Structures are given as C-alpha cells and as structure tokens.
Structure 1
C-alpha cells in the first residue's frame, strides 16, 4: 500500500461524478487510507445518488472501472464507495 494520495484517481472520479449529477457543487471525494486498500468515499447532493449508481448499478460499476484504471497510473489499488 502506498502512503500517497491517488491524485489521478481522485481527479478522474471527481470529474466523472460532477459531470453526471444535477448539483456538481455538492460532490465531495474523501480519501480514506485506514484500511488495507485506499478507499475513495463519494458524497453527492440530495437526489443525485440514484443518478450516479444507475440502473442495476451499471453506472457505478463503470465509474469504478475507469477510476481504478486511473489509480493504476499512481500504482495504487483503490475501492470506491458511494455514500448518502
């Protein structure tokens, strides 16, 4: 595990989520490196969580795939959680 913040992954994740939601100003991405893997916790405004998760979780899965690819540029393995 790396002690560095996965800057590329955070930037990509923030950009993608802000592009999807109705209220981009309400989007926050927190880095939690207390576990085995670094976790990126995403919070969005009221009513936008369903938009980010998508039907059957497909949008969330796609966001995770792209962001993990970006994290590999920083040599970091990440998990992404979408929180209320």
Structure 2
C-alpha cells in the first residue's frame, strides 16, 4: 500500500525525493500519513480537495479486502 501511495503521488509533485509515507497500525485500522514538501501540499490536495479525494478512493479500494479499515492523512 505504501508503494501504491508513492506511485500515485510522485508524478504530482516537484520534489519527489521528499515524499514520506509512515504507517501506524491500531486494533482495527491502519493509518497512512503522507508527508510532502511544503510547496507540493497544494498539488497533492488539489482544488477543493479533489485530488486528495481521488487518491483516498484508490487507496481505500485497494485495501478493501483487508480486515482493517484504512485511512490516509495528507500533511
């Protein structure tokens, strides 16, 4: 899942070397924290959050077979 997030975000940003995905697992959920360069945050979020929503949709669909709920935080 971490590789999927990086693959989706890399073409969107100007500083791909600063993409960082951290994973935090809890009892019934997995939270992925996506951090990008401060100049790239707007590009990853998009107008009205459309790109962020699309990224979340793909990540949630890819993890739908897992027994744990998946969340994506963009910072």
Pick which of 63-72 and 50-59 moved more: 63-72
Structure with higher strand content: 2
- Structure 1: tracts of 5 or more residues without a match: 1-8
Quote the RMSD (CA, aligned, Å): 1.4
Give the alignment's TM-score, normalised by structure 2.
0.88
How many residue pairs get aligned? The number is: 74
- Structure 2: tracts of 5 or more residues without a match: none
Give the alignment's TM-score, normalised by structure 1.
0.80
2:25 to 18, 33, 37: 33
1:22 is aligned to 14
Deviant stretches of 4+, over 6 Å: none
Q: Does 1:42 align with 2:42?
A: no
